[in-house]
Amino acid sequence: MTRPLLIKNGHLIDPARGLDETGSIFLADGRIAWVGGGKTPPTDYNIIDAGGLIVCAGFIDLHCHLREPGYEEKETIATGTRAAARGGFTTVCCMPNTDPPLDNQATIDYVKSTAASQGAVRVLPIGTITKGGQGRELAEMAEMSEAGAVAFSDDGCWVDDSRLMRQAMEYSQAFNRPVISHCQDAALSEDGQMNEGITATRLGLRGIPAAAEEIAVARDIALAELSGCRLHIAHISTASSVELIRRAKDRGIRISCEVTPHHLTLTEERVMGYDTNAKINPPLRTAGDINALINGLNDGVIDIIATDHAPHTENDKLCEFALAPFGMSGLETALGSLMGLVHDGKLPLGLLISKLTTAPAGIIGPDFGRLGTLKEGAAADITIINPDHEWTVDASQFASKGRNTPLAASHLKGRVMATIYNGKLAYKDASIKAGEAND
């Protein structure tokens, strides 16, 4: 049985309950027992001194790729969840484009049982919308939902058959799981390598126009309105997508959307020199898009931040640009990247924390525990942050097998110092003092 844990003297922030004060928090039996000051725990317990550090609910990543089963050379549930813990994430929702894909109860069970035995944090698998993620027939969503699928997505591909997507949106409502859409028109983006723009012209690379995303966003909004489905749009990347979603929300359509740390901080110019680690889908866009995405976060059009952590091996990326797979390893740099926006005055700290905690918990819903808050009785998932810690990204030190990051050697300010999952330390920086109360 896990010893209780007292985290003392931290700067407690919980946007869900308007908490923003220095105090202590006591974890016992996998729950938050109490929050505040002046109380002394009754029994033997461990202590973490969080003086000068921010203490918030553990982050929730609604969108990552753990690659298991099938691509264990890129990542496993064991390594991916350790990367998550280092990044402050205590819950990760993993996408189903594995081999075999998570398109039935058995594969969902496999991920859950592997995560239970090897995972460092909570893993909530996402099932496919269609069998094999092939976009032709509905997958057995009800059974997957019963097995523990948190949502449904054919991530990596858009379900381009509008009738099938409508049916998926209708069918999924019976068990109240969101459908997550990777919005990208396949014909318009076919063979595209990066954002369509002047940088692509210069590099001689086929572009993926912003319109490929916006066409898909517009259709899915229309289908969400038609079906009443709880639609979540993955990794939006363009200014016009923000506007489409803004108008849809103004009209009362039930949709939510996410943005990644890299789409908030990096532009297409990262591809110059043919850096395959900057080859990401949707592609890195322009400074104008970044501004619109930051504004969208601030005014609530964009609900959450998700990493789209997409690990690949060095060999996968060590090749001609057109042959390299899309994606970057993002769990371990997410907070540092995002804190740059906070330090630059573009995003309030409380809002950033809510986009990583309360807001994704709201999309997941109550069926997977009380997540994303420091309320008493909630899951004992805590992230401790030093907002001012400056560090240099060294991909060779990642817990993730994926060292594919365009941020290698970048200087970031803000770092996760400890992550507590289910009342236990899942990650701790060497500088953090932890010990037993009786020492």
Partner 1 sequence: MRITPKDEVRPVAGAESQEQPPVWRHRHILDLDDFSAAEIGLVMETSDAMMEILSRPIKKVPTLRGKTIVTLFYEPSTRTRSSFEMAAKNLSADVVNLNAQVSSSVKGECLTDALATLEALGADMVIMRHPMSGAPYVAARRIEASMINAGDGWHAHPTQALLDLYTIRQHKTSLKGLKVVIVGDIKHSRVARSNIWGLTKMGADVTVCCPYTLLPFGLEDTRGIFPEVTVTPDIERALEGADVVMALRLQKERQQSGLLPSIREYARYYQLTEARLAEAKADAIVLHPGPVNEDIEIASGVAHGPQSVINRQVTNGVAVRMALLYLLSGSKRL
Give residues in contact with partner 1 (CB under 8 A).
196-207, 209, 269, 273-274, 276, 315-324
Helix-strand-coil split of the chain, %, nearest 5: 35, 25, 40
For partner 1, the closer of residues 74 and 317 by Cβ is 317
Nearest approach in angstroms of CB 317 to partner 1 is 8
* Pair 245, 221: CB distance under 8 Å: yes
In one-letter notation, the amino acid at residue 98 is T
For partner 1, the closer of residues 175 and 274 by Cβ is 274
Q: Which of 185, 308, 316, 381 is catalytic?
A: 308
Cα distances (Å, whole numbers) of residue 19 to 54, 339, 399: 12, 20, 32
For partner 1, the closer of residues 199 and 227 by Cβ is 199
> Active site includes 308?
yes
Side-chain half-sphere CA neighbours of 367 within 13 A = 15
Q: Which of 9, 88, 97, 156 is nearest to 357 (CA)?
A: 88
For partner 1, the closer of residues 55 and 271 by Cβ is 271
Tokens 């110092």 correspond to: 417
Nearest approach in angstroms of CB 213 to partner 1 is 16
Q: Cα–Cα distance between 36 and 220 in angstroms, integer? A: 44
User: In this structure, what are the phi and psi dihedrals at residue 304, rounded to the nearest 5 degrees?
Assistant: -140, 165
User: In this structure, what are the phi and psi dihedrals at residue 427, rounded to the nearest 5 degrees?
Assistant: -160, 140
Nearest approach in angstroms of CB 203 to partner 1 is 6
Three state DSSP letters for 101-165? CCCCHHHHHHHHHHHHHHCCCEEEEEECCEHHHCCCCECCHHHHHHHCCCEEECCCCCCCCHHHH
Q: Cα–Cα distance between 394 and 411 in angstroms, integer? A: 10
For partner 1, the closer of residues 199 and 281 by Cβ is 199
Nearest approach in angstroms of CB 290 to partner 1 is 16
Give the single-character DSSP code of 46: E
Sign of the CA dihedral running 329, 66, 340, 386 = negative
Nearest approach in angstroms of CB 277 to partner 1 is 12
Nearest approach in angstroms of CB 372 to partner 1 is 40
For partner 1, the closer of residues 28 and 188 by Cβ is 188
- For the chain, what is the largest distance between any 2 Cα atoms, rounded to a whole number of angstroms? 67
For partner 1, the closer of residues 273 and 345 by Cβ is 273
Nearest approach in angstroms of CB 209 to partner 1 is 8
For partner 1, the closer of residues 186 and 323 by Cβ is 323
Beta bridge partner(s), residue 64: 94, 309
Beta bridge partner(s), residue 427: 419
Q: Cα–Cα distance between 128 and 151 in angstroms, integer? A: 8
Q: DSSP for 210-265?
A: HHHHHHHHHHHHHHHHHH---EEE----SHHHHHHHHHHHHTT--EEEEE-HHHHH
Nearest approach in angstroms of CB 24 to partner 1 is 51
What are the catalytic residues? 308
